[in-house]
Amino acid sequence: MKVIITGAAGFIGSNLASRLVASNFDVIGIDNLTYGNLRNIDHLKGNPKFNFVFGDITNPFILNTYHADVIVHLASQKIPRYSNALRTLDENNLMLRNIVRKCVSDQSRMLFASTSDVYGKNPNVPFNEESDLVMGPTKIKRWAYALSKIFAEQYIIGCNDEYGINYTIMRFFGSYGINQNLTWWGGPQSVFIGKALKREPMEIHGDGQQTRTFTYVDDTVEGIFRCITNESAINEIFNIGTEASAEISISDLAALIWNLIHPDEEPMLTFIPYESFGRYEDVMRRVPDIEKIKSKLGYQPVVSLNNGLKRTIEWQKQIPAE
């Protein structure tokens, strides 16, 4: 099977590329390296099963000469706190249209990277795939990311109705691990690890009582792999995350990371009020219900937060700080 991965030099894309190549798939990986890093795919250089293309998915011609059975569309702009709302809306939309058009013309199946952020402020956790998607006010720019993903989900389903393309929508919950971007772009783990390694205070946004469930990247990739290889994933939406029992507050995550690096020491934390990001809203609890992917695709996350963090810390010690 031939697979195109957009965003292949990024965090999830590079881990997925390694997994697919190891399983004998032919992989074409595309990335413009805005957030990804070539070191993430260095080990695949020269492998005849992997072809890296440096290019921008907003360019409608970039994929013309490449063909695949499946396109895993991971390339994305994220929450505008770290970028720009217009860029998030524009680029995500342009990329979406180019990838959908390609899937229609080549009859490729489209796997789309959506996000847990689409559940927004819905207070009823855990979220299953039928849960309501609850956004905040339009003037709060952070919602631009979730909206770009909700728009994409509806657009893809519309293209299934009109053109019959096959799709799978994957809503990832807090993936972390090796090859993660070392800034806030990549989430809290790498930033907290970086600070703890330097014995500097870890920045907590808000009061730190907001909760998340985190998924080690091998488990995320296992979920994607099952979506690629399993026919019962066709035209379905899946949460890809970990068990609801793994819910942890951001303050507790920071303390856990500090203590894995400096056992029995009081963690150094500094609290940054949300107001310093302009008008902002956080999601206070983000917890998935993963029964659907477990029962339909036999998925089961296996890496505990402790073990995943230990692996990530060891990896990060080898990486030059950004």
Please, are residues 226 and 24 in contact by the beta-carbon 8 Å criterion?
no
Which listed range, 34-42, 100-108, 158-166, 292-300, lies at the site for ligand NAD (CB under 6 A)? 34-42
Between CA 102 and CA 110 the distance in angstroms is 9
Residue closer to ligand NAD (CB basis): 34 or 84: 34
32 near ligand NAD (CB under 6 A)? yes
**Residue whose CB is less far from ligand NAD, 174 or 267:** 174
Under 8 Å CB-to-CB from 221, ≥6 apart: which residues? 12, 15, 16, 19
The correct pick among 34, 51, 83, 160 for binding ligand NAD (CB under 6 A) is: 34
Long-range contacts of 50-55 (CB under 8 A, 24+ apart): 50/17, 50/21, 51/26, 51/27, 52/8, 52/9, 53/28, 53/29, 54/30, 55/30, 55/31
Total residue count of the chain as it appears in this document: 322
Regarding 35 and contact with ligand NAD (CB under 6 A), the answer is yes
Under the binding rule (CB under 6 A), the answer on residue 227 touching ligand NAD is no
Q: How far is the CB of 15 from ligand NAD (least distance, A)?
A: 8
Three-state secondary structure string covering 248-300: EEHHHHHHHHHHHHCCCCCCCEEEECHHHHCCCCCCCECCECCHHHHHHHCCC
Q: Are 159 and 105 in contact (CB under 8 A)?
A: no
Minimum Å gap between C-beta 53 and ligand NAD is: 9
Q: Applying CB under 6 A, which of residues 13, 120, 126, 223 lies at the interface with ligand NAD?
A: 13
* Binding of residue 181 to ligand NAD (CB under 6 A): yes
> To the nearest whole angstrom, how small is the minimum distance from the Cβ of residue 263 to ligand NAD?
27
CB of 212 to ligand NAD, least distance (A): 10
The one among 25, 167, 172, 216 contacting ligand NAD by CB under 6 A: 172
Q: Under the criterion CB under 6 A, does residue 188 sit at the interface with ligand NAD? A: no
Which residues are bridge partners to 175 per DSSP? 215
What is the contact surface with ligand NAD in residues (CB under 6 A)?
7, 9-13, 30-36, 56-58, 74-76, 78, 91, 95, 113, 115-116, 172, 174-175, 181, 187
